[in-house]
Amino acid sequence: MSLFAERAERLETITRGLKLRDDFPLLKSVIVPAAVLAHVRSVVEDYLAATLEAWHPGQHVSRDGTLLTRDAEAIRGLPNITPNGLMLPKRPNARAYNAVHAAVAMMLAELGLTPHIEQVHAPINLRLVDGRADKRIDARPRASAKWHSDMWAGEPAAAVITFLPVFGAPGALGVRWVEPRDFPTSMARPLDDFKEGESLIEGGREYKVAFDPGVLLLTDPFLVHKTLRDSDGLRLSVDFRFLSRYQVESDAVAPGTRGENYLPYKDWAEIGNTSMLATDAPLAPFDGADLTASNEYAAAFTLKKRDA
């Protein structure tokens, strides 16, 4: 049983009929077919390789499925990684990024999730997590290594928070998940520091869910979570949020601050096909505000038709 019955029922409706590995009230993990996962892995690795080649002109990077472990130090040194691990698309790697976007849209269609989706956040996130602890990074107000809800960073309560682990050793560099005993309305808002909400985990129900490649995790923003830094390796995932076609009363407590980033599903699904997310930003060190609290996305992008 869950105190958040209406929210649990929404996730149940969205994932009904799918092959689940984990089935909790506020988290469902869907097994991704091997061929679909292989395609996503291929285009994500190409994005990594294209970024390395742009940063090191004249260097060819092999795409053989081992890039994240083989060239871990070179990947750590890429300039387009925010302190929270977002690997931002820049002008030299934008084409490869759009291919990832198209592959994720295809995955949602293959899984049969698209009839449940109203809007999707753009851009999707490619997130690189380093297992090595960094006190400076982890002490930031909104560090992912702190317990948090995505509502505390400006996402709406109506969002379904979605994670696709792509590369990384199974069971390593995971995430802890806790369903709180309660979620006061006063806490369903952006917080200056995630630590303000840490007490919500006290007495909560922990979900034992591995963050492994091959499963798509769909979670509710009332589920509090944090990234674990407990190994020397790297993991890479594709993370995004969508708004479903099903509204529940408690969505009203947090409308969110990122509404302009959510696109109608039909428009979102065309990214990488008939349209492209574009940027004129060069491949240069991240200079945004991620070291402080911000309710906006880490960078600005435009949507263009392919023939524009």
Q: Comparing 133 with 26, which gets the higher pLDDT? A: 26
Stronger pLDDT, 139 or 293, i.e. the higher one:
139
Is residue 80's pLDDT more than 70? yes
Q: How far apart are CA 119 and CA 268, in angstroms?
A: 8
Per-residue pLDDT for 1 more than 80?
no
The 8-class DSSP code of residue 32 comes to: P
Average pLDDT over residues 113-118: 98
Is the CB of residue 267 less than 8 Å from the CB of residue 276? Answer: no
Q: Determine the average pLDDT of the residues in 233-252.
A: 95
Residues 157-199 pLDDT 10s: 999 999 999 998 766 658 999 999 999 999 999 999 999 999 9
- Over 90: is that where the pLDDT of 286 sits? no
**183's tokens:** 């979620």
**Mean pLDDT computed over 265-291:** 85
Q: Is the pLDDT of residue 107 over 90?
A: yes
| Per-residue pLDDT at 117 exceeds 80 | yes
Least confident of 69-73, 77-81, 230-234: 230-234
In terms of Cβ atoms closer than 10 Å to its own Cβ (0-12, 13-18, 19+), residue 60 is exposed
The whole-angstrom separation of Cα 87 and Cα 72 is 14
The H or E element containing residue 53 is helix 34-55
At residue 290, does pLDDT exceed 50?
A: no
Is 84 in contact with 239 (CB distance < 8 Å)?
A: no
What is the pLDDT, as a whole number, of residue 236? Answer: 95
C-beta separation of 256 from 159 below 8 A: yes
Q: Which of 149, 90, 115 is closest to 285 using CA atoms?
A: 90
pLDDT recorded at residue 169: 73
pLDDT of residue 291: 47
Q: What is the pLDDT of residue 69?
A: 93
Q: How far apart, in whole angstroms, are the C-alpha atoms of residue 54 and residue 62?
A: 14
294: pLDDT strictly greater than 70? no
Domains plus CATH for the chain? 5-305 (2.60.120)
Weakest-pLDDT range from 86-90, 225-229, 291-295: 291-295
| 308 Cβ contact partners less than 8 Å away, ≥ 6 residues apart | none
Split at pLDDT 50, 70, 90, the class of 83 is confident
Percent of the chain past pLDDT 70, that is, above it, reads 93
Rounded to the nearest integer, the mean pLDDT of the chain is 92
Q: Which residue has the higher pLDDT, 216 or 213?
A: 216
